[in-house]
Amino acid sequence: MLHKRLSQFLIIYFLGLGLLLAVKYCFGLSDYVIPGFTDMQNTAQAVAAGYLRAVLDTLGVAVIGHVLAIALATVVAIVGRPDNLLGTMIKTAAYNLQAYPIVAVAPIIFILLGDGLPSRLLIAAIICYFPLLLSFIGILGEPVAGIEHFYVVTGRMRWQLEVKIRAFENIHKLITVVTGSATLAMVGTIVAEFIGADSGIGYSLRIALYQSDIAKVLVALFLIGVFNSLYLVALELLGLAVRKRMGVEQRTQQ
Amino acid sequence: MLLQCLNISYRYPQGDALVFRDLNCRLADPGFHGLFGPSGVGKSTLARIMAGEISGFTGEIKRRDRAGILYSCNTERLPGWSSVGDHLTKVTPAANLPLLRELITAFDLGSCVDSRFSQLSLGQKNRANLTRYLLQDFDLLIMDESLANVDEATRKQIIVTIKQIFPDRYFLYISHSVAEVATFCARILVLRDIHKSPQLIEVAGRDHHGDAVPDRPALERAMLEIVHAA
């Protein structure tokens, strides 16, 4: 799993790098526009340690933001699950809000909360929150009639059991959605840092942009890709463990 | 009388055509009764109306006060997070735990109790599902093809066992097997196409209890009557 994710990223990364160098040598661009391979190596050696710390900082914020978003989406989806007035309101609000490019409100968050951790955390969380919420509402709001019927007619159905049945029956979808939204959390954190924070790899990218230093950008992209892949693999392993614990693997082997 | 349907008319929420028009039927006495009819005629719909799971019909359903009516069908599943045995134990009222053991033996489910539901054959799944319904407190249990995919000998054994264990309860057995309903059911409600009048005809079955060889000519007459009615 790890090998697959990393090799996929490395292939894409080095293909992109190769393309960039091909453009440089084909059009005879100067090292100022696109640095040569040696310059890239030197830059990597110079900034690697600092960028590594920055990526870990960003990843930490992204993970916490992601967990917060998952927790919030779960709670809201459970509350918005029934076909009553509250449920309808929550679903309508979720569908309408997700249609708005939420990253555009990031400046307001920075103005109100400053350029520290809370702003980065909040933006990371809201970037991945709405896709999670829509999926969770869809999954937890859809009855599994074949299983639920017995509990309903015998008066045993409780909301906890209903949620458990629907989550269990859709565990593959839930894990896919959670894994897929991890990248969004990372994107949200980097965007937040890029816009207004004073730390993290997004902040480093902003400085590299102001310096027009493509070598630094490439080093940052490499580290972001590696650590994002590691996070996705960790989530996939967690999903595998959950499925195994719940006995879902036996079902899929039928 | 446990249940009586009076002048029931019904059309599906998205449909234009009526499924039932002024349909009347009743379940007067306890026992094993049948609901028979061609596919698509509305047997499951009628059964779910009787169980109170479908509303929006006209007419009246009269039920005995506090009558417990359960509807079970062969598309139901047990949750997959625990074994069949654990699930059955969990949904069985404490007083019925001895009955659970009896049914597991009678329904030949002993080899399935440690397995997950998804690991069972279709016939085993239907038997496990029927078992949990039989363990509930009910007056009428509607069995909508609940023994589909179960072999004939086991099906016979299950029906006979049900009749022996629950002589005072009502059962409405939906099946496409004329021989089966004619043999084991006391009364058979034959549901017909809406264009036929009356839409539902009641035919007497042989109500076989498995204790003797069925009277072959009488059984054939009952089968013929059912086929003619349908």
From A151, which residue of chain B is nearest by alpha-carbon distance? Answer: B91
Do B116 and A147 make contact, defined as CB atoms within 8 angstroms?
A: no
Is residue B81 pLDDT above 60, yes or no?
A: yes
Number of domains in chain B: 1
Query: Measured between CA atoms, how close is A146 to chain B, in angstroms?
Result: 4
Which two tokens mark A12?
A: 């894409």
pLDDT bracket for residue A110 (50, 70, 90): confident
pLDDT bracket for residue A249 (50, 70, 90): low
Q: List alpha helices for chain B, DSSP H.
A: 43-50, 84-91, 97-106, 122-134, 152-165, 178-184, 216-229
Q: In this complex, which of A149, A156, A246 lies closest to B81 when CB atoms are compared? A: A246
Q: What is the ipTM of this complex?
A: 0.91
Residue pair B117/B87 in contact (Cβ under 8 Å)? The answer is: yes
Tell me the residues of chain A between 95 and 134 that have a Cβ less than 8 Å away from chain B: none
pLDDT bracket for residue B135 (50, 70, 90): very high
Do A251 and B118 make contact, defined as CB atoms within 8 angstroms?
A: yes
Range of the domain at A97: 2-252
Give the CATH number of the domain where residue B54 resides: 3.40.50.300
Range of the domain at B175: 3-229
CB pairs under 8 A between A and B: 44
In chain B, the percentage of residues whose pLDDT exceeds 90 is: 65
Neighbours of B185 (CB within 10 A): 28
pLDDT bracket for residue A42 (50, 70, 90): very high
Is some CB atom of chain A closer than 8 A to the CB atom of B79? Answer: yes
How much is the mean pLDDT over chain B?
91
Is some CB atom of chain B closer than 8 A to the CB atom of A233? Answer: no
Do B77 and A164 make contact, defined as CB atoms within 8 angstroms?
A: no
Give the CATH number of the domain where residue A9 resides: 1.10.3720.10
Is some CB atom of chain B closer than 8 A to the CB atom of A214? Answer: no
Is residue A61 pLDDT above 60, yes or no?
A: yes
What pLDDT is recorded for position A252?
Answer: 44
Number of domains in chain A: 1
Do B81 and A164 make contact, defined as CB atoms within 8 angstroms?
A: yes
How much is the mean pLDDT over chain A?
90
Tell me the residues of chain B between 105 and 144 that have a Cβ less than 8 Å away from chain A: 116, 118-119, 129, 132-133, 136
Phi then psi for residue A5, to 5 deg, are: -60, -50
Instruction: Render pLDDT for A177-232 as a digit per residue (tens, 0 to 9).
Output: 999 999 999 999 999 999 888 889 999 999 999 999 999 999 999 999 999 999 99
What pLDDT is recorded for position A254?
Answer: 41
Do A150 and B72 make contact, defined as CB atoms within 8 angstroms?
A: yes
DSSP three-state, residue A103: helix
Residue pair B2/B140 in contact (Cβ under 8 Å)? The answer is: yes
